[in-house]
Amino acid sequence: MARTLGNAVIAEGVEEAADFYACHQVGCDYVQGYLIQKPTVKSSEILETYPLIMDLQQRSRRQVNHDHERIRQQVEIIRPIALYDQCRQLIPMDQVFETFRCNKGNSLFPVVNEKHEPVGVIREKDLKEYVYSPFGKDILRNRATATGNITQFISRIPVTEIRTRVENILEIFSLNPDCEGTLVTDDGKYRGFLSANALLRLLFEKNLEEARDQNPLTKLPGNFQVSRFVSEGNSDGAHIYVYCYFDFDNFKPFNDKYGLRNGDRAILMFADILKETANRIRCFVGHVGGDDFFLGFKLDRDNITVSHCRTIVLGLCQRFASDVVSIYNFQDQKNGYIKGQDREGRPRRFPLLSVSAAMLTISRGVRFCSLEEIFTILAELKKKAKTSPQKFATLELKNLTAEKTGCEPGQ
């Protein structure tokens, strides 16, 4: 609500890094609490800068933000009107008139305070009533009248940080459907103006990009959106994230015997199982390609647990192994295997299709891995899962040194 009115939001009681990241994620402008500094009555003890907070912000910004670049390209740089002159006096209305006269194509101008923070906009239409009436300009020029005060013509509109996701900006804007757009800030300082048309272009471009990234067979999000989910998880220290990677076992000999069409049937069968899970539980499902799939969980404090995620993943694997039997002919179902050739051309018996799962948990509060590191860890876990009796391997990362929590085969 405060954001839609153009007001800043201050979060209190921030005591841990996880609290800071949570406030950052929901869009709070300022924070206060023991994490920043404990209360003091001595002005000499009050810090001018907060290295810890600067470090937490820097960690967050290291992560890829695809929306940030899109928004930056669409932001219109409108030179703002300063609320005060050098003598700390409100600027005269003559200066406002001159700004509009010299920029006839602009219907509004942002207004900033002495710290270059946006306080609202002045619309040309709000001045016309006076400009086109007898003595209207003279009334506005008269500082002694309330009407002659520039603050009487400042209108509040939504303000958003340039690193905000497009969907969040749209949500704020939807609460003000009659608004021309939103003011954009960078670290609280005015950066530019994002019009309603520019926001629609942003949304269209993003939807088009996601449509192109979809897997043509399963219609699930592809590599780009999987990477974005992991990247966003990396920059969010307020939640636990669980990344799961799935890979079919014995898929090549199955394709060799039953053909690519039945191979697609098996892929679609597993995709449908993942989609059903996403409909029941809030999670992200992606199709990396071929017989490789991705499942991601963002765990809130009152949401499902890591143990619950493990149960879900094992249940998905078991259900697929049970359902995929229907694709085989009667004799292969009875045998419980198919005959084929290995990669060296030697005859072999291959078990029926199953799926191996690698589960990586990123603990709350610390974000340190790059995307490459995370996908490398998942690839190593997948290798362990392939040799595990349960076709499952898991690892939890808690700090700068990865701490194993049972990634031995079969755990």
The CATH number assigned to the domain holding 223 equals 3.30.70.270
pLDDT, one tens digit per residue, over 275-300 is 999 999 889 999 999 999 999 999 87
Residue 370 in any domain: the answer is yes
Give the residue from 63, 82, 100 where a domain finishes: 63
Distances (CA, A) of 3 to 122, 199, 337, 376: 18, 17, 61, 40
Predicted pLDDT of residue 61:
55
Residue 10 in any domain: the answer is yes
Q: For residue 156, give the DSSP letter.
A: -
Residue 146 in any domain: the answer is no
Q: For residue 126, give both structure tokens.
A: 């709000």
Sign of CA dihedral 152, 153, 157, 159: negative
Residue 172 in any domain: the answer is no
pLDDT, one tens digit per residue, over 120-133 is 999 998 888 777 66
Region of poorest pLDDT, from 213-222, 359-368, 386-395: 359-368
What are residue 308's DSSP bridge partners? none
Residue 127 in any domain: the answer is no
User: How many structural domains are present in the chain?
Assistant: 2
Residues in Cβ contact with 353 at an 8 Å cutoff, skipping those fewer than 6 apart: 248, 249, 250, 251, 254, 266, 320, 321, 324, 327
Residue 343 in any domain: the answer is yes
pLDDT, one tens digit per residue, over 44-86 is 778 777 877 777 766 655 554 567 788 888 999 999 999 998 8
Residue 243 in any domain: the answer is yes
DSSP string for 181-217: EEEEEETTEEEEEEEHHHHHHHHHHHHHHHHHHS-TT
Domain encompassing residue 24: 1-63
Give the residue from 63, 94, 114 where a domain finishes: 63
Give the residue from 63, 80, 109 where a domain finishes: 63
Residue 187 in any domain: the answer is no
Q: Are strands 154-155 and 118-123 parallel, antiparallel or unpaired?
A: antiparallel
* Dist CA 91 CA 85 (whole Å): 6
Q: For residue 237, give both structure tokens.
A: 């220290």
